[in-house]
Structure 1
Amino acid sequence: MEIAVIGAGVVGVTTAHALQQRGHRVTVVESHAAAGLETSRANAGQRSYGYVYPWASPAMLKKALPWLVKRDGPLKLQLPPSRDTLRFLAATWRFAQAPGLFEANKRAMLRLGAYSRQCFQALEDDATLAFDGGHGGLIDLASDVESLKGLQVNAGLLDEMGIEHQLLTAAEVAEHEPALAHSQPLVGGIWLPGDGTGDCYRFTQALAAVCQARGVRFLFDTQVTGAQRDQGGHLRALTLAANDGEALEPLAADAFVLCAGTASHRLGELFGARLPIYPVKGYSLTMPLRDASRAPRSTVIDDRHKVVVTRLGERLRVTGFVELAGHDREIPSQRLATLRHALASRFDGAADFDAAEPWTGFRPMTPDGPPVIGEGKRNNLFLNTGHGTFGWTLSAASAQLIAQLIDGDKPALALEAFRPGRFG
């Protein structure tokens, strides 16, 4: 089949790779000049297969107000909030209050994460990719007894689902991450040895190069401006334009896959798909190592500042904040100062702050949390988008699931929690 994939972030490129592996002829349309230049550019670097969870959490709602008013709190809201922001918050509230929904969605996302780990291993066996990747595990720290109790509750669910993990004392944390030997406050943590790391941008670029070498066509600097349908309403071609406005030849295909991140909200309307995806803003700093002995070996989550610190070869990345500010790309100095402070509080002297590269980007978040994976209203439109903070983690699995659906195979996982029509 001829298949058009919209979006060349990590989700779009892994989808193109999965489809090419099955013998399809694939064209990827991307508005940027290269692959991986939007949300995939400088995310947390963690592939946290055993540490995925829905956005709409009852516990998060209880913490939201204190986080908002705290100067360095992890949740920020631009004032006055836009109409889109208010709609998103209202929908999040409804989903968070739905009895049993958070627990069901979390289990579904953990199953998707476990499957993604298998898919990444198969993908890396298929193609040699250089992206500072590894599977050194993830440690979530507990700075106090209350945080440790929360980890113990999470460990119970991991036990139930057969996901390998280990609750750690403070001394055991230091055995896994020696740089934390003298870090305080620290009472323990949870270790997920199967979780991984990697530079998502480098991975996406490398996999795109592999795809191109195998015949996948990429149309960069290209906008999708419309859709052409047949008399039955099925998609037949995409109307395209260059970024300078010049009309391009329509792209005909037998099937279409929308993997456009936050742009999926707008593009979905062209295809009759209601996708209430919101751009949740985050920040990161990437810097060269100054002293490797003071740096983490893999990924560490600091419970106090809600930041992720990830080792990427000879670099270190610290990522944080959930900010609801639309598509505002400003990087306030206070956000970067908080990231620096959080990193120094755990790994003082590990990295060269003077050479730090700041970044901000938008995670495509659904109001309930799970991504959208499945078939649209028309039988040749497929949706693979809305992965929120876990696009890098879940991309390999969702790509395989879409490829299975397109070929008429039974999906490897139940897709009820990810169905496109759940928003009405």
Structure 2
Amino acid sequence: MTKALIVGAGMTGLATAWHLQEYGYEVEVVDRIGVAAGSSWGNAGWLAPGKTIPLSNSSLWAYGPTALFDKHAALDVPVRFDPKLWRFCANFMAHATGRAWDKTMAGLTKADLGALAAFDELEAGGVKATTHESPFIIGFENEQKAGGFLKEVEGAQRHGQEIPFEQITLDDARVHAPMLTDKVGATYRMGGQRFIEPGPYCQAIADSIVERGGKVTTGVEVVKVSSTRKPAVKLATGEWLHADNVVLATGAWLPKLAKDIGVTTLIQAGRGYSFSVETDQPATCPVYLPDPKIACTPYQGRFRIAGTMEFRGPDEPFQPGRIASMIHTTKPFFRGIDWEDRQDEWVGSRPVTPDGLPLVGATKVPNVYTNGGHGMWGIILGPLCGKMLAKQIETGEVDETIAPFDPLRGPFGGL
């Protein structure tokens, strides 16, 4: 039986392993910490193709410089001597144009259109987890502040997505999101999207892999990739593991192995924070505040509040000030929340590329592949990219869905 070793037990790695099992592969997933231990655990869990869009856009030219000096801004870049960080930021900003946005959106659209069906396939195949269909409520302080978001929705629609989207009254919004205050002066409802509890969902995929004869091994750190007749990875212990195929799905930690496999695309940890709170009335649907960039989701009877894009190293310490800033910007828009009763405070490192496209496919080392670089979209695109990569490993065919995600496209993406 052909063996595949998948490094990384987040959504992308687990989905790749599961789909390789569909082709009859013997699979083992290894992770240095545990299932969903990185950015796959504490995110908002949105399965929202209508919001799976390029991160870099022209509004950054006005927002970015002011964010550097606003401690409460959703974008946080530490002002310090860090050549790699500033090289990434320069290239990220180089993609903040309308032309680059359209090019990235065109590259994402086929994946966006197939993303939800990939979750249905996992569940039909025995993964004991469920996606939740629900309207998404979007709130702004006033109509004027909605312009940028409406432009993004129009852009996704222009590239081929059908997104049910309408303006509603605050009273209508409160039917689904009773926590909204009167400070919310403009509200919209987006349909056709879903959400999950991401950590439990990833664990369900891992359980399914094991139930079907695969292995999920934690506490295993890979420090080097090599290949002679077959690819192999070296562990921190000095031991080597061999397989017929190796998939690197290590997220923001991929740069540690990139030089071994010829991947030069820049990857920066874009760290997101989250916590959960109680609400006076049960939260039943996702709520988005685009101005402070706060994404909220029902989570295990509570309300998960997620946000920020913090460009730091993936292993840097948790920054409590980021949580304080999220509360500061969100509190005026929400009522009926005990902000002191916070649980599950978390930071996770999302792997961001300059052009906003993932890195999915073959590397320069024979039979070594990557599935990562999804930025904020690893949860929603992970199952589909896992399916498409498994197909490529089995058949050698690069599906058009992931063709724009070539991991060897160069350090700066499409520029």
Q: What's the TM-score once normalised by structure 2's chain length?
A: 0.91
Q: Give yes or no for contact 2:53–2:105 (8 Å, CA) kept in 1.
A: yes
Matches within 5 A, 1:286-365: 286-287=276-277, 289-293=278-282, 295=283, 297-327=284-314, 329-350=316-337, 353-365=340-352
Q: For the residues of structure 2 that align with 1:278 and 1:81, how far apart are their CA atoms?
A: 16
Bigger CA drift: 45-54 or 344-353?
344-353
Aligned mates of 1:44, 1:120 — CA distance in 2: 16
1:387-398 equivalence runs, <5 A? 387-398=374-385
Equivalent in the alignment of 1:61 = 61
Tell me the equivalent position of 2:247: 257
How far, CA to CA, are the matches of 2:339 and 2:318 in structure 1?
A: 20
Aligned to 1:91: 91
| Code of the aligned partner of 1:292 | Q
**Alignment match, 1:279:** 269
Aligned-pair distance for 1:181? 6.1
Percent sequence identity is: 23
Residue type at the aligned position of 2:226 = Q
Q: Is 1:268 the equivalent of 2:264?
A: no
The Cα RMSD (Å) is: 2.3
Give the letter aligned to residue 48 of structure 1.
Answer: A
Deviates more, 1:135-144 or 1:386-395: 135-144
Within 2, Cα distance between the matches of 1:397 and 1:175?
34
Change (3 A) 1:409 1:115: farther
What is the CA–CA distance in structure 1 between the aligned matches of 2:171 and 2:279, rounded to whole Å?
Answer: 25
State the distance in 2 between where 1:336 and 1:224 align.
32
Unaligned 5+ residue runs, structure 1? none
SS at match of 1:407: helix
User: Are the counterparts in 2 of residues 50 and 114 from structure 1 also a CA contact under 8 Å?
Assistant: no
Q: Deviations over 1:162-198 (max 9, x none)?
A: 4232121334751652415643232232x33221212
> Could you list the per-position Cα deviations for residues 20-68 of structure 1 after superposition, in whole angstroms to 9, with x for gaps in the alignment?
1221111112111x21111112112212222112223222232111222
1:284 to partner: Cα distance: 0.8
Q: Deviations over 1:140-159 (max 9, x none)?
A: 32322233333433343344
Inter-partner Cα distance in structure 2 for 1:405 and 1:274: 21
Deviates more, 1:152-161 or 1:64-73: 152-161
Q: Work out the CA distance in 2 between the residues paired with 1:103 and 1:118.
A: 24
In 2, Cα distance between equivalents of 1:192 and 1:19: 34
Distance in 2 separating the partners of 1:228 and 1:107: 34
Note the C-alpha offset of 1:128.
4.3
Report the secondary structure of 1:225's partner residue: strand
Aligned residue for 1:105? 104
Give, in whole Å, the separation in 2 of the partners of 1:153 and 1:238. Answer: 45
1:107–1:177 CA distance, 2 compared to 1 (3 A): farther
C-alpha change, 1:60 and 1:251, in structure 2 (3 Å) is same
Kindly provide the CA deviation profile for residues 387-414 of structure 1, in whole angstroms up to 9, marking residues without a partner as x: 1111111111111110111122655534
Match in the other structure for 1:23 = 24
Counterpart of 1:273, as a letter, is V
Residue 148 (str. 1) matches residue 122 (str. 2) = no
Residues 1:185 and 2:175 aligned together: no
> Residues of 2 paired with 1:390 and 1:366: CA distance?
12
Q: Is contact 2:263-2:410 (8 Å) kept?
A: no
The alpha-carbon deviation at position 343 of structure 1 amounts to 4.3
Evaluate the alpha carbon distance shift between residue 251 and residue 334 of structure 1 in structure 2; reply closer, same or farther with a 3 A threshold: closer
Change (3 A) 1:228 1:372: closer
The aligned counterpart of 1:228 is 226
Go from structure 1 to structure 2 and tell me whether the alpha carbon gap of 1:41 and 1:151 turns closer, same or farther (over 3 Å shift): closer
Distance 2:118 2:314 in 1: 32
| 1:205 paired residue number | 203
Aligned to 2:409: 422
User: Does the C-alpha gap of structure 1 residues 195 and 253 become closer, same or farther in structure 2, counting only changes over 3 Å?
Assistant: same
Cα 1:183–1:109, aligned 2, differ >3 Å: closer, same or farther? farther
CA contact (8 A) 1:9 1:40 kept: yes
Distance in 2 (alpha carbons) for counterparts of 1:88 and 1:54: 16
C-alpha displacement of 1:356: 2.2
Q: Tell me how far apart the structure 2 counterparts of residues 292 and 180 of structure 1 sit (CA, whole Å).
A: 7
**Maintained 8 Å contact 2:247/2:368:** yes
| Paired position in structure 2 for 1:82 | 82
Residue type of the alignment partner of 1:15: T
**Cα distance change of structure 1 residues 351 and 364 upon mapping to structure 2, 3 Å threshold:** same
- Aligned: 1:406 with 2:393: yes
Work out whether residues 360 and 371 of structure 2, in 8 Å CA contact, stay in contact via their aligned partners in 1.
Answer: yes
Shift in Å at residue 239 of structure 1?
Answer: 2.1
1:100 match: secondary structure: helix
One-letter identity of the residue aligned with 1:277? I
- What are the Cα deviations for residues 262-291 of structure 1, in whole angstroms up to 9, with x where unaligned? 11111121223224111112211123x342
Say which SS state the counterpart of residue 95 (structure 2) adopts: helix
